[in-house]
């Protein structure tokens, strides 16, 4: 049975949303998705899934606090402690198994409620092996960027191109929080943080909520929005120990892609897609992920950026939404946001940043530091 995305709701991302509680933010995102799908959540939905991490929310057992604002009171409901695409995978399985016809997937960031974000990231490190070292946990990104550039042959200049391109692209996306006319030279000259990583190589936290309505084929065809089919989906984790991970071609991305491509019958990924949304929480991550999921050969992703292949009119438009660098890092909602952007593109509803004639897209996510977990989905429109 085919599984389709039939409703998309995105709240505008902002650096802070003091006017909303996290419940009210979720309600805002959910209302938009239900209006898009043309459904009533109180009667038309079989199961609800949220993707959240207690340490980001700031209180325990977040699962218990989700039903009211999603219209899920006294309905099947659970939380995935992971990235939004992992939530979509759960929805896919529930529909394929016949448990539900229509499933809602939600993820959000209320990062502005977190006063000590670095402390939360540091708390994700191994308590005996890495934590006692102390220091700012983002040095992991510096280490990884250095290893990736050396191992692949891409350069810090290529990363500056991404830092610039995604912020500029975001100026056309009304959802984005951090669109800016940044030049590659400006990015390359921004203050060094954890060499070779510079401040404009890093995304900035944002608040926002993304909600998808997902349905089996029969139910999908009754919905208001044109279905975007989930043709393949996969997820994986690399080692929890940073020292053990593959920093040139991250295993979580490679394995998740292989899983999704097998399901979607994608044999030559480099030629299979009209559009890509890949994680860019740091600029080098976009290049690293493009190579890891087979969209660029080793060391060639920087060249693709230089040739303009990744732009809106290029060979493989990548992160034309602005990505995390341009839209903001919305934590575990980042993957779901990429799915939402790709779905709107395939429907032809992406507005000013619409890519002409896109029919098949690949979307890839990473949970962010210090995780080595990610997911991949292949989306398509058509019969």
Partner 1 sequence: MTARIPRFPGVELGPKDLESGVVTTVRYRPEAKFAWSAGEAMTRFLAELEQGRLIARECKGCDRILFPPRMFCEECYRPTDAWVYVRDTGTIETYSISYLDTDARRITEPILVGVVSIDGASPKMGMMHYFGEMSKDDIRIGMRVQAKWRAARDRTGSVLDIEYFRPMRGG
Provide the binding-site residues for partner 1, judged by CB under 8 A. 17-24, 27, 40-42, 55, 58-59, 67-69, 71, 73, 110, 112-116, 118-120, 122-123, 127-128, 131-132
Which residues 6+ apart lie within 8 Å of 356 measured at CB? none
For partner 1, give the closer residue by CB, 24 or 349.
Answer: 24
Q: Using DSSP, state whether 157 is helix, strand or coil.
A: helix
For partner 1, give the closer residue by CB, 131 or 221.
Answer: 131
373, 292 in Cβ contact below 8 A?
A: no
Give the shortest CB-377-to-partner 1 separation in angstroms.
Answer: 28
Burial of 312 (0-12, 13-18, 19+ CB in 10 A): middle
Give the shortest CB-273-to-partner 1 separation in angstroms.
Answer: 37
Give the shortest CB-128-to-partner 1 separation in angstroms.
Answer: 5
Give the shortest CB-251-to-partner 1 separation in angstroms.
Answer: 28
Question: What are the distances in angstroms from CA 68 to CA 41, 72, 87, 133?
Answer: 11, 6, 19, 42
Give the shortest CB-368-to-partner 1 separation in angstroms.
Answer: 17
For partner 1, give the closer residue by CB, 36 or 291.
Answer: 36
Give the shortest CB-8-to-partner 1 separation in angstroms.
Answer: 18
Secondary structure E strands in 176-259:
192-194, 197-198, 207-216, 228-237
Which residues 6+ apart lie within 8 Å of 106 measured at CB? 26, 29, 30, 48, 49, 50, 51, 66, 70, 87, 209, 210, 211, 212, 336
For partner 1, give the closer residue by CB, 68 or 359.
Answer: 68
For partner 1, give the closer residue by CB, 19 or 243.
Answer: 19
For partner 1, give the closer residue by CB, 127 or 383.
Answer: 127
Q: Is the dihedral of CA 71, 74, 80, 81 positive or negative?
A: positive
Q: Using DSSP, state whether 332 is helix, strand or coil.
A: helix
- Residue 240: count other Cβ atoms within 10 Å of its Cβ: 16
For partner 1, give the closer residue by CB, 24 or 64.
Answer: 24
Nearest 10 degrees: Cα torsion 370, 367, 93, 227 = -170
Give the shortest CB-139-to-partner 1 separation in angstroms.
Answer: 16
């Amino acid at each position: 049975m085919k599984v389709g995305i039939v409703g998309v709701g995105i709240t505008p991302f902002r650096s802070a949303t003091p006017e909303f509680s996290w419940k009210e933010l979720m309600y805002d995102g959910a209302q938009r998705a239900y209006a898009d799908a043309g459904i009533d959540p109180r009667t038309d939905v079989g199961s609800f899934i949220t993707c959240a991490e207690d340490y980001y929310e700031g209180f325990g057992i977040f699962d218990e606090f989700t039903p009211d604002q999603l219209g899920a009171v006294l309905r099947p409901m659970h939380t995935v402690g992971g990235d939004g695409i992992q939530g979509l995978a759960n929805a896919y399985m529930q529909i394929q198994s016949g448990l539900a016809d229509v499933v809602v997937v939600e993820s959000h960031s209320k990062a502005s409620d977190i006063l000590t974000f670095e402390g939360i990231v540091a708390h994700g490190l191994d308590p005996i092996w890495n934590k006692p070292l102390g220091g700012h946990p983002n040095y992991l990104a510096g280490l990884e960027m250095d290893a990736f550039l050396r191992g692949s042959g891409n350069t810090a200049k290529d990363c500056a191109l991404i830092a610039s391109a995604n912020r500029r692209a975001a100026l056309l996306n009304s959802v984005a929080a951090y669109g800016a006319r940044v030049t590659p030279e400006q990015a390359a000259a921004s203050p060094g943080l954890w060499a070779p990583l510079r401040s404009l190589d890093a995304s900035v936290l944002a608040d926002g909520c993304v909600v998808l309505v997902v349905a089996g084929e029969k139910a999908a065809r009754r919905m208001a929005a044109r279905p975007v089919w989930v043709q393949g989906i996969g997820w994986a984790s690399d080692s929890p120990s940073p020292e053990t991970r593959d920093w040139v071609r991250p295993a979580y991305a490679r394995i998740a892609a292989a899983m999704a491509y097998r399901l979607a019958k994608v044999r030559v990924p480099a030629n299979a897609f009209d559009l890509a949304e890949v994680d860019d929480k740091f600029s080098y991550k976009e290049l690293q992920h493009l190579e890891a999921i087979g969209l660029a050969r080793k060391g060639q992703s920087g060249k693709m950026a230089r040739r303009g292949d990744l732009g809106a009119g290029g060979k493989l438009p990548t992160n034309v939404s602005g990505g995390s660098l341009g839209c903001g890092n919305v934590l575990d909602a980042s993957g779901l946001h990429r799915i939402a952007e790709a779905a709107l593109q395939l429907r032809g509803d992406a507005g000013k940043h619409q890519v002409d004639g896109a029919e098949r897209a690949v979307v890839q996510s990473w949970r962010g530091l210090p995780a080595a977990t990610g997911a991949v989905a292949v989306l398509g429109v058509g019969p």
